């Protein structure tokens, strides 16, 4: 017991004794006075007075205890609330105990996960060590490959020397080709100046273009004349492009392909290149095997699957491409407005840029390039010069359009037969 509690207990005992004495003294005096209370006899009135004095003493003691000690006051007046709080605290204690048990279970699971992760970490460390060893091995292999690359570079240098010799031998052919191109340009210039002779000059131009193509083929054959093993054309080069009528039957297509492959075989033999183990008949059968009738009208592309060397065989790969219209008739392919159009050379450069843009657009839409020139747009120089000269007549600016005069499929390039230049002012 604390000193404060002992003093309160001593004070209560003394106060109780004093109050008991005072009550007893008052009772004895009341009894001696022989007074009546509410008409009762003195004996009975003394008993009632003694009981009333006890009640007053008890009430005073309880009141004094409540005033002296808050615990006593709570025990007397708040016992039910204390019981309810005790029950609530007991329930919370049970919940806390259950939560503690759950946390202990989770702690054990975390300890198990920690052990497992430590094992995984050890395995990862072993894997890292193994990968480091493999990296060292790979570096050694790269060094060996670098040595082989140096050796191949030496061989490539030798091949480049052979190529230079072949280019020197083809110089004369190139010179003749340039002469023919110059003659073609002269003819086209004369065509632009002499409108009255347009039909004759057109025929001459067509003949010269045919000569240029023939000379190009001859040049390709001439470049193949160097020693045995010289590469004539690379892998991926398109050798032929065959288009059949839409209503052609499979039997007619196979027969036509066989005859076309015979012509291709003879042309390759003139270059001293063989078809390998294939024959025109087997190639036509292979082409028809990969033909899918559900795709509609198609054309066949024959492409070199390997590099072609003189005196060796070449393998071919074939693919059918569905025919589709890339530019519909009347579509404006490129449109440009030029504020100033008085200079002929500037106009010519602008027209070439528009043709270049049309070529890029055709490539994006799937137009295949010309097999020989590898171009998607071919437009005569003289015609461009004439159009550039016509642009100089517009003083307030000129709107230039490249329009498709007919539907252009994906197997044909853009030529004067397919496109035209339209010139007009903004006022029109």
Per-residue pLDDT for 192 more than 60?
A: no
What is the percent of the chain with per-residue pLDDT over 90, rounded to a whole number? 17
More confident residue, 242 or 419: 419
pLDDT of residue 426: 75
Instruction: For residues 127-150, give the mean pLDDT.
Output: 86
Helices (H) and strands (E) in the chain, counts: 10, 10
pLDDT digits (tens, 9 = 90+) for 5-40: 566 667 667 776 777 777 667 666 666 665 655 666
Instruction: For residues 55-72, give the mean pLDDT.
Output: 69
Per-residue pLDDT for 222 more than 50?
A: no
Q: Are 54 and 23 in contact (CB under 8 A)?
A: yes
pLDDT digits (tens, 9 = 90+) for 310-361: 888 888 988 888 888 899 999 999 999 999 888 999 999 999 999 999 999 9
Token representation of residue 261: 């492959």
Q: How confident is the model at residue 158 (pLDDT cuts 50, 70, 90)?
A: confident
* All residues at 6 or more sequence positions from 2 whose CB lies less than 8 Å from its CB, including other chains: none
What CA–CA distance (Å, rounded) separates 106 from 88? 27
Per-residue pLDDT for 45 more than 80?
A: no
Q: Which of 28-32, 361-365, 378-382 has the lowest mean pLDDT?
A: 28-32
* All residues at 6 or more sequence positions from 412 whose CB lies less than 8 Å from its CB, including other chains: 367, 418
Q: How confident is the model at residue 234 (pLDDT cuts 50, 70, 90)?
A: confident
Q: Determine how many CB atoms are found less than 10 A away from the CB of residue 377.
A: 24
Q: Are 399 and 337 in contact (CB under 8 A)?
A: yes
Q: Phi and psi of 377, rounded to 5°?
A: -135, 125
pLDDT digits (tens, 9 = 90+) for 243-289: 877 777 888 888 888 898 899 888 888 888 888 788 888 888 888 88
Per-residue pLDDT for 141 more than 50?
A: yes
pLDDT of residue 70: 63
User: H or E element: which one contains 294?
Assistant: none
Q: Which of 38-42, 140-144, 287-291, 397-401 has the lowest mean pLDDT?
A: 38-42
SS3 424: strand
61, 113, 176, 197, 213 from 220: Cα distances, Å: 134, 74, 13, 34, 11
The two beta strands, 238-243 and 408-409, are unpaired
Per-residue pLDDT for 291 more than 60?
A: yes
Instruction: For residues 379-384, give the mean pLDDT.
Output: 90
User: H or E element: which one contains 61?
Assistant: helix 42-68
């Amino acid at each position: 017991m604390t000193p404060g509690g002992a003093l309160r207990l001593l004070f209560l005992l003394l106060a109780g004794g004093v109050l008991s004495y005072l009550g007893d003294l008052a009772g004895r005096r009341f009894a001696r006075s022989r007074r009546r209370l509410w008409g009762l006899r003195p004996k009975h009135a003394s008993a009632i007075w003694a009981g009333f004095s006890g009640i007053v003493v008890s009430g005073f003691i309880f009141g004094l205890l409540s005033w002296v000690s808050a615990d006593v006051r709570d025990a007397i007046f708040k016992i039910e609330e204390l019981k309810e709080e005790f029950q609530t605290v007991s329930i919370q204690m049970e919940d806390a105990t259950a939560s503690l048990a759950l946390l202990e279970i989770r702690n054990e699971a975390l300890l198990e996960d920690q052990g497992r992760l430590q094992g995984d970490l050890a395995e990862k460390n072993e894997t890292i060590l193994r990968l480091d060893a493999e990296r060292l091995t790979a570096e050694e292999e790269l060094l060996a490959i670098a040595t082989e690359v140096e050796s191949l570079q030496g061989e490539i240098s030798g091949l480049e020397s052979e190529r230079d010799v072949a280019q020197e031998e083809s110089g004369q052919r190139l010179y003749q080709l340039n002469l023919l191109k110059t003659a073609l340009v002269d003819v086209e210039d004369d065509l632009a100046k002499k409108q009255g002779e347009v039909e004759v000059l057109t025929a001459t131009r067509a003949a010269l273009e045919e000569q240029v193509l023939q000379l190009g083929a001859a040049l390709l054959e001439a470049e193949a004349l160097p020693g045995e093993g010289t590469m004539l054309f690379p892998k991926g080069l398109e050798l032929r492009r065959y288009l059949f009528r839409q209503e052609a039957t499979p039997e007619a297509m196979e027969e036509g392909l066989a005859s076309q492959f015979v012509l291709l075989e003879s042309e390759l033999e003139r270059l001293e290149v063989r078809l390998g183990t294939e024959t025109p008949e087997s190639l036509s059968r292979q082409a028809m095997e990969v033909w899918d009738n559900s795709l509609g009208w198609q054309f066949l592309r024959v492409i070199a699957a390997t590099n072609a060397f003189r005196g060796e065989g070449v393998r071919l790969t074939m693919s059918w491409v569905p025919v589709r219209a890339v530019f519909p008739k009347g579509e404006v392919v490129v449109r440009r407005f030029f504020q100033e159009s008085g200079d002929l050379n500037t106009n010519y450069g602008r027209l070439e840029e528009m043709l270049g843009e049309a070529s890029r657009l055709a490539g994006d839409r799937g137009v295949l390039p010309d097999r020989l020139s590898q171009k998607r747009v071919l437009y005569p120089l003289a015609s461009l010069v004439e159009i550039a000269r016509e642009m100089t007549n517009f003083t307030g600016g000129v709107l230039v359009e490249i329009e498709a005069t007919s539907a252009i499929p994906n197997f044909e390039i853009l030529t004067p037969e397919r496109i035209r230049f339209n010139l007009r002012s903004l006022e029109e």
